[in-house]
Amino acid sequence: MAKAKAAPKPKGAKSVPTEVVVTYDLFDLPTAYHKAGLAGLVLVIESLKARNVLTDETAKYIMTPTRVTVTFTEPMVQALMDDVYGARVVEVKVKSKWAGAELKREETVEEEVNGKPATTKRFVYDQVQPKGAFFDNVFDGDKEVWRKLWRDMLWSIPRGRPTTRIPFNECAAGKPCGEGEAVWSDLVKFDKARGKNGFHTAELSSALFPGAQAVNAEGVGFEGRVEQTVLLHFWTFVTLLSVPNVVEADGTSDFAGYALAVPEVGDLEAFVREYPLVLNALKPAPRGYRPAEAVIDVAAEGGLALLNRFAEVTGQTVEASSLNLCIRSVEYIHLVKEGNNIKTMAAGRVSPNPSLLAGYREIVTPQLGLQPLFRNPLFRRGLLLALLDGTEWYRPFGKALVTYDIALFLRQPRKSAEADQKAPPQFAADAATKLRHVSKLFADSVKRSLEMPEAERPKAVAPLPVIVNRVVRNYLLARAAEKSGVQLDAFESDDRVDWSKVPAEYNVEKQKLAMGLMYEFRSRRDQAFVEHFATTFFSVTLRINEADRLVLADALLLDEQRDALKTLTLLSLSANS
């Protein structure tokens, strides 16, 4: 029996490819988001294979350190988009009604309000929630707080408007994600354009790329090559999220938006191997409703944290002369949602510099398994800003010391070791710790110089922070003794004062003096500051050598040194209050 002939294709019919092969090169991709997205694509493919959604035959790719060749098929693309936008419907209970949302039911709960038992209402709604199945093997149990951070960031920043959540809504309703068909269509168009030695572009959405808009103020549209835009569906899976803790002038603080640390991948093979280790190393301990490790003091800290985590999982010491990380740099951006708008608060880039990471570890890493050396958020912020700017550690404190409530900088009385651990970290305690550290470094350098031949021995001149702290401390101790009638000599042992035995009235007078002087000095500038400094601190006997006197004189007389002197004076008053 003869075989039936296939019906001829109608004229003008277009053949649709069953697969589209795309080669991505890190050096051709335009942004860190695209490079992170490429690594994210590979990691999501591997995750789907591990969950038996895809196989080596249905998801083919070839990877080198700088290049990935992916064989896309329509079923593969659909599986990828269904996973990226996987969602479910969950019940949420809130204290106030949502405008425009369908209320499911109301509940009453017994809770404590202002210290008294009370009956309050809860309003129950159905809400679509991203699954983030990619994180299933690391963000479960106690670590669910990290996945919640990821979900909240999605719903607040790239998917803040209801229209941008359509792909998630489709998946939550059990439908195929519409992005699968759209992405495959774009890849087919890319393939066709490539056959004519061209390329195909399309509008770039802010749901995929932060800051993108249909048309900017100059009338220029945001567009991207479609085969590269595909990668922007995946960058959120390989971005370390942080929550900046913003301290107001009155001392109140709150989490403000999200800081995104986007890695600029330099070695794809190493990144795909090491990034899961970074995720596994995240700790679940919460701080409020956020992971404690995610709370940062400046946006750039998120980038430093990501670099530091890669250095830790690869066992590299930042004290080495160079770092061999799989990321070339990290782009960070601090975004806050205000109404329907997303506001950029800070943005920049940090590179894997050994000295930068060593300084970062000194500021934030717990010492000997205990608390970090510096715990006060305002103080840590100042140190981090100085580290990032490459300036003296005390420079960034100038503005805060003259604008914030002075009570934030005064030392509060100690109650017990246990109570001190639970109390909010004090700025004054951190300032004292830092000044002691600087003094010890100077003393150690002097000790080392004494081991050298006298002819080669450098002249020992104390740094300005050490000199100013000595001058301020000397004045406060002398005047507090006069006003309280308490002599510290009676409480000394081995040239150290046992402060636990010093009468309370002495410390009260010392704090009053420090507070009064902080008010006086922070309101004075230029010559008025110089005159007040001299008449105040030179009114008691000074025990500093001639070289230190000359350093102090320069700081008083030179305009470029005066701001530093004022900042150090206020810091020393805080530390010794």
Structural domain ending residue among the three candidates 236, 261, 294: 236
The CA distance from 437 to 546, in Å, is 23
Mean pLDDT of 31-40: 97
The CA distance from 240 to 150, in Å, is 9
Q: Do 473 and 574 form a contact (C-beta atoms < 8 A)?
A: no
Is pLDDT at 371 greater than 60 in this prediction? yes
pLDDT at position 271:
96
The answer on 211 and 148 residing in a single domain is yes
Cα dihedral sign for 250, 254, 257, 263? positive
The answer on 209 and 144 residing in a single domain is yes
Is pLDDT at 220 greater than 80 in this prediction? no
User: Using the 8-state DSSP alphabet, how is residue 29 labeled?
Assistant: -
- Residue 334, phi then psi, degrees to nearest 5: -105, 115
The answer on 192 and 50 residing in a single domain is yes
pLDDT in tens, 476-519: 999 999 999 888 888 887 778 887 888 889 989 999 999 999 99
| Domains identified in the chain, total number | 4
pLDDT at position 4:
46
Place of tokens 């280790």: 277
Cα 180 from chain centre? 33
The CA distance from 66 to 489, in Å, is 69
pLDDT at position 219:
60
User: Which tokens belong to 327?
Assistant: 């990321």
Structural domain ending residue among the three candidates 236, 265, 286: 236
Q: What pTM does this model have?
A: 0.89
Q: Which residue has the higher pLDDT, 437 or 449?
A: 437
The answer on 110 and 224 residing in a single domain is no
Kindly state whether residue 497 falls inside one of the protein's structural domains: yes
pLDDT at position 1:
40
Mean pLDDT of 538-554: 89
pLDDT in tens, 224-271: 999 999 999 999 999 999 999 999 988 888 999 999 999 999 999 999
The answer on 49 and 182 residing in a single domain is yes
User: Which tokens belong to 38?
Assistant: 């490429």
Residue numbers of the domain that contains 255? 238-389
pLDDT in tens, 126-164: 999 999 999 998 998 889 999 999 999 999 999 988 899
In single-letter form, the type of residue at position 574 comes to S
% of residues, the chain, pLDDT over 90: 65
Kindly state whether residue 3 falls inside one of the protein's structural domains: no
Is pLDDT at 63 greater than 80 in this prediction? yes
Is pLDDT at 192 greater than 90 in this prediction? yes
Cα dihedral sign for 354, 359, 360, 366? positive
The CA distance from 523 to 408, in Å, is 17
Q: Do 491 and 502 form a contact (C-beta atoms < 8 A)?
A: yes
The answer on 150 and 26 residing in a single domain is yes
- How many CB atoms lie under 10 A from the CB of residue 311? 20
User: Which tokens belong to 472?
Assistant: 């301020």
pLDDT at position 255:
94
Range of lowest pLDDT (11-15, 375-379, 432-436, 546-550): 11-15
Confidence band, pLDDT 50/70/90 cuts, at residue 322 = low
Q: Do 135 and 147 form a contact (C-beta atoms < 8 A)?
A: yes
pLDDT at position 251:
87
Mean pLDDT of 369-387: 88
Confidence band, pLDDT 50/70/90 cuts, at residue 3 = very low
pLDDT in tens, 450-483: 878 877 777 778 899 999 999 999 999 999 999 9
Mean pLDDT of 542-571: 91
The answer on 72 and 203 residing in a single domain is yes
Is pLDDT at 397 greater than 80 in this prediction? yes
Cα 342 from chain centre? 18
The answer on 82 and 103 residing in a single domain is no
Confidence band, pLDDT 50/70/90 cuts, at residue 206 = confident
Is pLDDT at 190 greater than 90 in this prediction? yes
